[in-house]
Chain A
């Protein structure tokens, strides 16, 4: 597969603290790529810069061969932020429809996509409720529906399954794998849960603004002689110090 996302010596500093340190990363088209790392390691900062809603202090990001930020590129990216960015005064349907109408889509397709996205996250029956009355998990699901409502080629999901019960979590993962397999979508997922990392095609271990190791879960386990990814993480962390 050709390269979908290419990150080159990407750095970000806030004041004097370096949050990302010359990160290099290649994500192939049609793979599920996991960014795994503890809280505060720089995952959110990294994905925001892939989307183009935060500007790098150094280096650059290319998505689908175009340099970020690029307005037309945003039509091809579905972004789910770590904190739910929703309008509590509006209903779930109004939120979903509002975000959908910001993309190029004709009315018939839009209607279809609204139904599909709501169904995928099992929110169809709750769409009439105001978001203020949603639980944390429901908000998370609505955010995910918004991220894929316009059928983007690339999905960037920042901790998508936090606060979602295990059963729904499993069905969301199955759907993500289906999207990858059937439609060749590229999916970037950040998580700090190791069992989710196992489901990714490839993962990058992020720590303190740098990438410790990249590879398939099995490659990494073999390389570090660990039985699970938790072990890989500890090994890789020791090696870096």
Chain B
């Protein structure tokens, strides 16, 4: 009963706050749309598997700064398993290129460089005989399609984090949190009421953002929509619990905003917008403590590669662990006011 009264109050307050409503529901759509128009291809350092071919070809490829990995036999499975960007098969003087195409920018550059290297080695006219095959997406795949799933996750994280954090902060600053604790309410009831009250808005936001991205922006969507929603909801739960936890360490809304460059912005870098492969080991390890890294990985797997929830269960587990830890810390943090 108490928890219901609290949830009702939190939702009523949010509904009356038109600006926050707009920030929650429209701002992500506007920014996503802008991103859609801004982004296009990008470059990366390619790794190419090579089957057959001469010593001369290898040298030519390496001169084009491609890492050549020689194979006696390989297929598209090898590309996925060994983390190659592409595979070049030479037989009877013909060339067959298989591109992983997880990053269309890399794929495009790689195909161009292979064509050039092959032309240098085998004379003009070779380019016509090169056949390219894409494992994920197709030649039309744009950078935005890969970036999209990451952005969807990011906006859900960012807006839920900010609004829930400021919600509890307002309660702290205005003294109503202390006043609440002068009633027989339990600390966990406050934390769960916040999770549920804000969670309902987060669910609506997630659904709007996901459908807008897929239907209007025509983001690549190979997997199931509801899988995408499940992952975003887990991420929203992490954002919610982290937001209200960090509000403990802020004494004004401005201080809450100061957490954005510390807590939110670094997550973008580790979520895969910039390919992690090229980073130093210690940087890659840091990504393991970033909730967005797990969510983006899972979203990419489902939206772009068509995998299912079972394939991303470890990511879901990681997100659930973050949420559980943050929720627990929240209940502890309220001890500052009342020991019980």
> A162 an interface residue at 8 Å Cβ cutoff?
no
Interface residues of A in 66-86 (CB under 8 A from B): 69-72, 74-75, 77, 79, 81, 83-86
> B9 an interface residue at 8 Å Cβ cutoff?
yes
Of all chain A residues, the one with the shortest Cβ separation from B181 is: A53
Which residues of chain B are near A175, meaning CB under 8 Å?
A: none
Q: Is the CB of B178 within 8 A of A102?
A: no
Q: Is the CB of A79 within 8 A of B179?
A: yes
Q: Is the CB of A102 within 8 A of B184?
A: yes
User: In which size bucket is the chain A interface?
Assistant: 20 to 34
Q: Is the CB of B13 within 8 A of A90?
A: yes
Which residues of chain A are near B181, meaning CB under 8 Å?
A: 53
**A70-B340, A71-B340 given; A53·B182 CB < 8 A:** yes
B339 partner, pick from A69, A75, A90, A102, beta carbons under 8 A: A69
Per-position binary interface string of chain B over residues 180-195, scored 1 when its CB falls under 8 Å from any chain A CB and 0 otherwise: 1111111000000000
Per-position binary interface string of chain B over residues 300-340, scored 1 when its CB falls under 8 Å from any chain A CB and 0 otherwise: 00000000000000000000000000000000000001111
Q: Is the CB of A89 within 8 A of B17?
A: yes
Min CB–CB distance A222 → chain B (angstroms): 37
Which residues of chain B are near A84, meaning CB under 8 Å?
A: 175
Binds B, one of A9-17, A24-32, A93-101, A210-218: A93-101
Which residues of chain B are near A69, meaning CB under 8 Å?
A: 338-340
> A126 an interface residue at 8 Å Cβ cutoff?
no
Which residues of chain A are near B13, meaning CB under 8 Å?
A: 87, 89-90
Q: Is the CB of B178 within 8 A of A53?
A: yes
Min CB–CB distance B173 → chain A (angstroms): 10
Which residues of chain A are near B204, meaning CB under 8 Å?
A: none
Q: Is the CB of A103 within 8 A of B184?
A: yes
Which residues of chain B are near A55, meaning CB under 8 Å?
A: 338-339
Which residues of chain A are near B17, meaning CB under 8 Å?
A: 89
A91 to B127, CA, bound (A): 74
Min CB–CB distance A129 → chain B (angstroms): 13
Of all chain A residues, the one with the shortest Cβ separation from B340 is: A69
Of all chain B residues, the one with the shortest Cβ separation from A104 is: B184
A51 partner, pick from B1, B176, B182, beta carbons under 8 A: B182
Per-position binary interface string of chain A over residues 155-192, scored 1 when its CB falls under 8 Å from any chain B CB and 0 otherwise: 00000000000000000000000000000000000000
How many contacts between A and B, using CB within 8 angstroms? 74
Which residues of chain B are near A70, meaning CB under 8 Å?
A: 340
Q: Is the CB of A103 within 8 A of B9?
A: no
Q: Is the CB of B174 within 8 A of A85?
A: yes
Min CB–CB distance B3 → chain A (angstroms): 10
Min CB–CB distance B166 → chain A (angstroms): 13
Q: Is the CB of A54 within 8 A of B12?
A: no
Q: Is the CB of A86 within 8 A of B176?
A: yes
> A52 an interface residue at 8 Å Cβ cutoff?
yes
Min CB–CB distance A157 → chain B (angstroms): 12
**A53-B181, A74-B184, A103-B184 given; A85·B9 CB < 8 A:** no
Interface residues of A in 2-49 (CB under 8 A from B): 48
Q: Is the CB of A90 within 8 A of B184?
A: no
> B262 an interface residue at 8 Å Cβ cutoff?
no
> B2 an interface residue at 8 Å Cβ cutoff?
yes
A72 to B340, CA, bound (A): 11
Interface residues of A in 99-142 (CB under 8 A from B): 99, 101-104
Known contacts A71-B184, A74-B184, A102-B183, then 19 further A-B pairs from the complex at CB < 8 Å, ordered by chain A residue: A52-B339, A53-B337, A54-B337, A55-B338, A69-B338, A69-B339, A74-B182, A74-B183, A75-B184, A77-B182, A85-B179, A87-B174, A89-B13, A90-B9, A90-B13, A98-B9, A99-B183, A102-B5, A102-B184
Interface of B toward A, CB cutoff 8 Å: 1-2, 5-6, 8-9, 12-13, 16-17, 174-176, 178-186, 337-340
Sample 10 A-B pairs with CB under 8 A, ordered by A number.
A53-B181, A53-B338, A55-B338, A71-B184, A75-B184, A85-B174, A90-B13, A90-B16, A94-B9, A102-B183
